[in-house]
Amino acid sequence: LIVISLLLSKYHWPTNSSKTLTTVFAEERPNRYHAGIDVRTYGKSGYPLFAIEDGYIERIRISTKGYGKAVYLRLKDGNVALYAHLEKFSPELEDAVAKLQSNLNSYSIDHSFGKNDFRYKRGETIGYTGDTGTISGPHLHFEIRNKDGQPINPMMEKGFEIEDNIAPVPTLISFLPYQPESTIDGEGIPKILNLQKRGKMYTSIDTLSIHNSFQIALSADDFIDGQPFSYGLYRIEVFIDDSLYYESKYDKLDFGFSKKIYNERNYQLHKITGSKFYNLFNSSANNKNKFVQKNIKSYLFNDDAFHKLVVVATDNNKNKSTVEMAFFSPKEPLKNTCNLDYEINQSDGSVLYIQIDSTVTPSFFLRNKYDYNKVLDPEIKSFGVNKKIIYGQNKVFTILEVVQRTNFGATISRTFHDLENNQFNHDNLRGLFDINSYHYGTVISFKENIFTGLDPFLSIKRKNKLYKHQLSRVNTNQLVSGPLGFNELEGTTEIAIHYNLSPELMIKKKINGQYLRSDKDFVLIHDTGHIYLSREKNRYNDESFVWIENTSVENVLESEKIIQGPYAIYPTTKKINGLNIALNLNDSSRPRHTGLFSFDSLKQRWSILNPRLGATSSRKLETSIDRGLIIAAIEDTDPPEVRVLSPGNGATYKAQDFNEIKFTIEDSFSGISGEENIELQLDRKPLIFEYNSYRKVVTCKVKKPLNPGKHELYLSYTDNLNNNKKTKVTFYIKDE
């Protein structure tokens, strides 16, 4: 009896489609956490869904968006099992849904049932997998919610165990300055290190020197035996010198904090690297995220000592991986005391290095002048205590990188030197500016198209005055400023890089930007008032330098017409919450058919922004954004295209054979929002229909046989920019 009771206490797996997961609990989604698990159905719909435990149907929701068709099963233990994106429900639920939709005259419904209306035993079928709602392909989204309505991790429940013996794979670790005075290896920008597996742990070959307070972020993927996807973690712990400083564990999600995901995940590092990062700190003092078990805002030592960092990453099956590395925390920033004498021997490209400071141990690398990522170790000969000759390898690896470390291994800085000593053509030098705002300040960087080896400076023009700032060469061709405060950027109209050559070489960039502060109303006007950015003070905590410029997007539009723009709003790598956009249209536009669109550079396509409908008679488009985008006002006058699959125009059917109306509807640009964009009538009577936004298919079940004779089907469909098209289909039912 005990054995039987234990077996029955396990939940039943929710479907027989597979036990392959595509997503696990608490994985990162845009602006939110994933609240359950996704079970793979291999591109098919129609697999049965089982009650995981005895219970009753508490709620059904149906929509063309979100979870599509979803059913909520209240279990006998008080939890709720949620099944989403269904194709259909069990027959008795389908009948109940049809009556509700008829009574409400709506496809979309949200209805609660009583305890005794629809009861199911463990293992009984309550519905079938599908592809309804906002979805990228057929699958089952499944959640378990506790008595308080909070999603809990299904993989921690009995019956949801997955065979998994593969430990997580940490790939990147980042150290981030926390204050303007903070430095990582002498630089005031985040340091991202590749992790390599050595024995049973992951580590980096670098020993960092970290001065003042800092933060840490980790990128890691998990894998499951025999499954082709990568997954999120279950638990992360941070130990420094054997003391626990930070811990997160993904057991229970509080919906109130789901949209604050970027306090616990790192949006900026994700945008910069393409990899998802877990913050090993919590950036908000008020964020009581239930995932964070032990919190720290930043790490601080400054004690002239080495410290051992250990990060333990655990997956949902308790497989663990460990990251171990050391860092040095000086009381004062380590000074650059390395000296390189440019006595280049042109015949063999050798360089004489004279070491002045005996506390510094240099390392030397040769970088490829055409591909800076390619590196060789040079041949080195020592002469006495403080002299070395570094020999060049060939005429391609001609950039010498000198990494300066203390004798105890802490990195001080890196310098880069041109062994060819070329006098490059000034006209060939170009570069790209970038501006990145962090919570401790804004950093301006410049990326050279060719390595110069020179030490230019940065100028910022504000209120018709030039302000000079030092630059550091952090990579072969990348120069960065120190952190700049809002007072050093407000009113900026131009930034420039100055090379001390004869004549002076200056590369400049016009800037239309303002510093977005939390305690001050923000306004930025561009293009003679055609676009207007704003945000009220004291509504959001984030701060950033925001700028806007005209841009171009080539060869992506056919019949559509850009009315205003495109404009590029920056930054694109940092959240800028609640930024309002007002775009004033010119007199030649047709406002009802004009919308505000953003451009996806990766997918090379435009997507309409909310609000979806065109402008009012005031000729103004308005929305709000939470990140930098390329935007434009675009006119679209093409209506949707429809292909009627059933009934055929002029076709004749037997009454018993005609049981479904079905057609596809496509709008390649502004799109179809949902059922509200579609009208369907049969013999002048409105029909309740289902619109599958993933497959772009409209279906309507014909419940009763039609009378013999002529019938008319009327279709009206409108896209998101008010372009409408109507179709009439005439068909016949045989008189038998």
How is 265-328 classified by DSSP, letter by letter? B-HHHHHHHSS--EESS-S-TT---TTEEE--S-B---SSEEEEEEEEEE-TT--EEEEEEEEE
Which tens digit of pLDDT belongs to each residue from 139-154? 999 999 999 999 999 9
Residue 613 pLDDT greater than 70, yes or no: no
CA distances from 621 to 121, 594, 669, 709 (A): 53, 9, 18, 49
Q: Where are the beta strands (DSSP E) in 683-723?
A: 685-686, 690-692, 697-701, 709-718
* Integer Cα distance of 485 and 548 in angstroms: 19
Question: What are the residue ranges of helices labelled H in 447-574?
Answer: none
**Averaged over 79-91, what is the pLDDT?**
98
Give the pLDDT band (50/70/90) at residue 258. confident
Look at residue 350 in the predicted model and tell me its pLDDT.
73
At 559, is the pLDDT very low, low, confident or very high (cuts 50, 70, 90)?
low
Q: d(Cα 301, Cα 79) in Å, to the nearest integer?
A: 45
CB atoms within 10 A of CB 151: 22
CB 401 within 8 A of CB 373: no
Low-confidence winner among 134-138, 224-228, 385-389 (lowest mean pLDDT): 385-389
Q: What's the rounded mean pLDDT across residues 682-686?
A: 95
Please give the structure tokens belonging to residue 307: 């410290």
Cα separation, 666 vs 279, in Å, equals: 41
The candidate with the shortest Cα–Cα distance to 73, out of 143, 5, 148, 153, is 143
Task: Compare 709 and 618 and report the one with higher pLDDT.
Answer: 709
Q: What is the pLDDT of residues 176-220, one digit of tens each?
A: 999 999 999 989 999 999 999 999 899 998 889 999 999 999 999
- What pLDDT is recorded for position 246? 96
Separation between Cα atoms, residue 611 and residue 623, nearest integer Å: 6
Spatial CA neighbour of 311 closest among 218, 192, 172? 218
**Residues above pLDDT 70, as percent of the chain:** 92
The predicted model scores a pTM of 0.91
pLDDT score at 4: 42
Q: What is the residue-averaged pLDDT of the chain?
A: 90
CA distances from 393 to 340, 342, 379, 476 (A): 18, 17, 8, 18
Cβ 593 vs Cβ 722: under 8 Å: yes
Phi/psi-derived region of residue 491, left when phi > 0, alpha when psi is between -120 and 50, beta in every other case: left
Distance CA 406, CA 409 (A): 5
For residues 150-169, average pLDDT: 96
pLDDT band at 2 (very low <50, low <70, confident <90, very high): very low
Cα(386)–Cα(352) distance, rounded to whole angstroms? 10
Q: What is the pLDDT of residue 393?
A: 66
Please answer whether residues 119 and 55 qualify as being in contact, where contact means their C-beta atoms are separated by less than 8 angstroms. yes
Helix (H, G, I), strand (E, B) or coil at 233: coil
State the pLDDT at residue 201. 96
pLDDT given at position 1? 38
Cα–Cα distance measured from residue 360 to residue 693, given in angstroms and rounded to the nearest whole number: 64
Lowest mean pLDDT among 116-130, 403-417, 669-683: 403-417
CA atoms of 153 and 26, how far apart (whole Å): 8
Neighbours of 389 (CB within 10 A): 17
CA distance 252 to 271: 27
Model confidence at 274: pLDDT above 90: yes
422 pLDDT band, cuts 50/70/90, is low
- Secondary-structure percent of the chain, ordered helix, strand, coil, rounded to 5: 5, 45, 45
Q: For residue 418, is pLDDT > 90?
A: no
Higher pLDDT, 646 or 736: 646
Question: Is pLDDT of 6 > 70?
Answer: no
pLDDT band at 58 (very low <50, low <70, confident <90, very high): very high
List Cβ neighbours of 680 (8 Å cut-off, separation of 6 or more): 661, 686, 687, 689, 698, 700, 713, 714, 715, 716
d(CA 550, CA 527): 8
Q: What is the pLDDT of residues 460-503, one digit of tens each?
A: 999 899 999 999 999 999 999 999 998 999 889 999 999 988 88
Dump pLDDT digits (tens) for 565-589.
Answer: 899 999 999 999 999 999 988 766 6
Helix (H) or strand (E) segment spanning residue 111: strand 109-112
Per-residue pLDDT, 611: 64
**Binning pLDDT at 50, 70 and 90, where does residue 557 land?**
low
The residue among 394 and 272 whose pLDDT is bigger is 272
Q: Tens of pLDDT along 696-720?
A: 999 999 989 999 999 999 999 999 9
Q: Phi and psi at residue 261, in whole multiples of 5°?
A: -55, -30
Q: What is the dihedral of CA 513, 518, 521, 526, to 10 degrees?
A: 20
How far is CA 219 from each of CA 148, 153, 483, 516, 572, rounded to the nearest angstrom? 32, 21, 25, 29, 20
> What are the tens digits of pLDDT across the range 292-319?
889 899 999 999 999 999 999 999 999 9
Residue 453 has pLDDT above 60, yes or no: yes
The pLDDT of residue 356 is 67
Task: Set out the domains of the chain in order of their start, with CATH numbers.
Answer: 2-156 (2.70.70.10), 169-329 (no CATH), 341-418 (2.60.40), 426-511 (2.60.40), 515-635 (2.60.220.30), 641-733 (2.60.40.1220)
Q: Which residue from 1, 144, 141, 177 is spatially nearest to 75, judged by alpha carbons? A: 144
Model confidence pLDDT, tens digit, residues 500-525: 888 889 999 999 999 999 999 999 99
Length in residues, the chain: 736
